[in-house]
């Protein structure tokens, strides 16, 4: 299916959650650079990162983007138009009541932040009003979370494995979930900007 | 296996625990608490919430295990090395410039990694004999582990030692433990003077006054209402012009006691009480 023919009610979505790991940095940077400044939905990003490097990631992602990108503090209120990046060495949970909470629980899939946990909690809160996007990555983290998201009525998008630098993660999603769209980076950006 | 838990089921579980054991989990942050409960169901192969509730009602011994599994006991020595440098170079010298001895409270000390970090720091700088330390946790099983201080060698090598090097200690961390069958057994003489005791942040309240309180990545498991209550308890437990340290991604800015503290280091989340 091409995204031009999609019949999507813009107002049906309230949030976007994105997961990525090895090979996703360039993709994320491009998405954040080319997404419309008027894009209003909050975006939650769980990206695998070095646990002991607390600084620099937000700055690197912000260079080309007009979006406000932050690493939330615990119990931060979710605001429209903001991009929330899971901080180093914390899991990021989306809570009922429009809050983000953080946790230092055990690593999941050898990862903290774990994509599975952000996807699971976000889809629990937003049900069928969330878009999940899985990008390039070298492990299976996120596959379970995307399955939950789809099961709760969320809209599932996977970066085309053929375009991924490492396709383990996207393939893991596709193996267990019948996703809505498989898109190249440019199409993901177009899809998001169509929602504005 | 059960896939998800309803909020009502969590409320009912909290009710049972409150009635039977007088622990109050009703203001724990929902997503992590739910995950902890799912974990218990899986670990002990319990079919559903009704069966878990029944087990909690009828088996006090199981409740102890439950507490141990519900609480998050993931910790590191010298987690956030830059905070430990701030403590060594600014906070502690400042305290010792006006105090002969100081009192420190590690609230929610879990398996003790942070207590050992502190004692090691104090020892390396000649302050250990001038410090009285209390280390508390809600769970007596984990306190026993803290006292015993045997950490998996894998953690010691891959996490603790790397943190210690980034912190820039004088000696080697290996000087403070012996390897025993895959574990690093800490030199417990380091914590000889530490008072390990049970304390539930939710209901135990103030028990002493301190010059430095560390409570890092503990309150993130509580909702804001409960965080606020506990912040007030900490405020009351601190001497004026003493220090309060929370986790690098925690904040007290919205709490009732925010105006009674000044920020000493925003990055490391070091605050100083300036008002009773």
Is residue A5 assigned to a domain?
no
Is residue A2 assigned to a domain?
no
Bridge partners of residue B166, in order along the sequence: none
| Contact status, residue A138 vs residue A147, Cβ threshold 8 Å | no
Is residue A3 assigned to a domain?
no
Is residue A66 assigned to a domain?
yes
pLDDT given for residue A1 in this prediction? 54
pLDDT given for residue A2 in this prediction? 64
pLDDT given for residue A8 in this prediction? 81
Indicate if the pLDDT at residue B3 is higher than 80.
no
Chain B CB contacts of A75 under 8 Å are 220, 223-224, 227, 251, 254
pLDDT given for residue B9 in this prediction? 94
pLDDT given for residue B4 in this prediction? 85
Test A105 with B220 for CB contact under 8 angstroms.
no
Compute the distance between CA of residue B58 and CA of residue B44 in angstroms, rounded to an integer: 16
pLDDT given for residue A168 in this prediction? 97
The structural domain count of chain A equals 1
pLDDT < 70: residue spans in chain A? 1-2, 4-5
- The CATH number for A120's domain is 3.40.50.180
- The tens digit of pLDDT for each residue in B224-246 reads 999 999 999 999 999 999 999 99
pLDDT given for residue B1 in this prediction? 58
pLDDT given for residue B207 in this prediction? 98
3-state secondary structure of B148: helix
- The tens digit of pLDDT for each residue in B47-79 reads 999 999 999 999 999 999 999 999 999 999 999
Give the percent of chain B with pLDDT over 70.
100
Test B29 with A52 for CB contact under 8 angstroms.
no
| Contact status, residue B119 vs residue B84, Cβ threshold 8 Å | no
Confirm whether A141 is a catalytic residue: yes
Is residue A31 assigned to a domain?
yes
Compute the distance between CA of residue B268 and CA of residue B246 in angstroms, rounded to an integer: 8
Is A72 near chain B, with CB under 8 Å? Answer: yes
Q: Which domain holds residue A110?
A: 13-194
pLDDT given for residue A151 in this prediction? 97
The pTM (predicted TM-score) of the whole model is: 0.95
Compute the distance between CA of residue B148 and CA of residue B140 in angstroms, rounded to an integer: 12
pLDDT given for residue A6 in this prediction? 77
Confirm whether A167 is a catalytic residue: no
Domain architecture of chain B: domains with CATH? 7-70 (no CATH), 81-150+189-273 (3.40.50.150)
pLDDT given for residue A9 in this prediction? 83
Q: Considering only alpha carbons, which residue of chain B is nearest residue A144?
A: B3
pLDDT given for residue A11 in this prediction? 87
């Amino acid at each position: 299916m091409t995204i031009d023919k999609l019949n999507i009610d813009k107002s049906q979505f309230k949030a976007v959650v994105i997961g990525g790991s090895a090979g996703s940095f360039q993709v994320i940077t491009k998405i954040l650079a080319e997404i419309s400044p008027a894009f209003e939905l909050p975006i939650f990003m769980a990206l695998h990162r070095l646990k002991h490097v607390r600084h620099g990631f937000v700055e690197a992602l912000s260079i080309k983007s007009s979006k406000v990108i932050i690493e939330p503090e615990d119990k931060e209120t979710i605001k429209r138009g903001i991009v929330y990046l899971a901080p180093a060495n914390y899991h990021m949970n989306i809570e009922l009541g429009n809050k983000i909470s953080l946790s230092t629980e055990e690593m999941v899939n050898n990862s903290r932040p774990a994509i599975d946990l952000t996807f699971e909690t976000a889809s629990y809160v937003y049900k069928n009003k969330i878009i999940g996007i899985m990008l390039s990555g070298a492990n299976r983290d996120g596959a379970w979370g995307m399955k939950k998201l789809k099961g709760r009525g969320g809209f599932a998008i996977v970066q085309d494995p053929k375009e991924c630098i490492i396709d383990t993660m996207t393939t893991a999603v596709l193996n267990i979930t019948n996703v809505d769209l498989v898109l190249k980076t440019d199409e993901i950006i177009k899809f998001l900007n169509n929602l504005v | 296996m059960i896939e998800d838990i309803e909020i009502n089921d969590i409320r009912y579980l909290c009710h049972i625990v409150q009635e039977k054991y007088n622990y109050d989990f009703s203001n724990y942050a929902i997503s992590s608490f739910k995950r902890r409960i799912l974990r218990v169901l899986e670990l002990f192969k319990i079919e559903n919430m009704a069966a878990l509730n029944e087990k909690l009602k009828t088996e006090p011994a199981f409740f102890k295990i439950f507490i141990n599994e519900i609480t998050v006991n993931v910790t590191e020595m010298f987690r956030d090395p830059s905070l430990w440098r701030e403590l060594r170079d600014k906070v502690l010298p400042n305290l010792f410039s006006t105090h002969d001895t100081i009192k420190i409270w590690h609230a929610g000390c879990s398996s003790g990694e942070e207590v050992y970090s502190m004692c090691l720091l104090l020892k390396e700088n000649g302050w250990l004999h001038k410090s009285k330390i209390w280390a508390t946790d809600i769970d007596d099983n984990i306190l026993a582990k803290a006292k015993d201080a045997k950490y998996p060698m894998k953690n010691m090598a891959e996490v603790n030692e790397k943190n210690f090097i980034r912190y820039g200690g004088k000696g080697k961390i290996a000087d403070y433990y012996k390897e025993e069958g895959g574990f690093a057994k800490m030199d417990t003489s380091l914590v000889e003077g530490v008072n390990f005791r049970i304390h539930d942040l939710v209901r135990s309240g103030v028990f002493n006054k301190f010059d430095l309180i560390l409570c890092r990545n503990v309150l993130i498991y509580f909702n804001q209402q409960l965080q606020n209550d506990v912040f007030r308890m900490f405020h009351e437990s601190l001497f004026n012009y003493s220090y309060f340290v929370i986790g690098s991604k925690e904040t007290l800015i919205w709490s009732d006691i925010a105006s009674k503290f000044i920020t000493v280091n925003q990055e490391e989340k070091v605050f100083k009480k300036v008002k009773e």
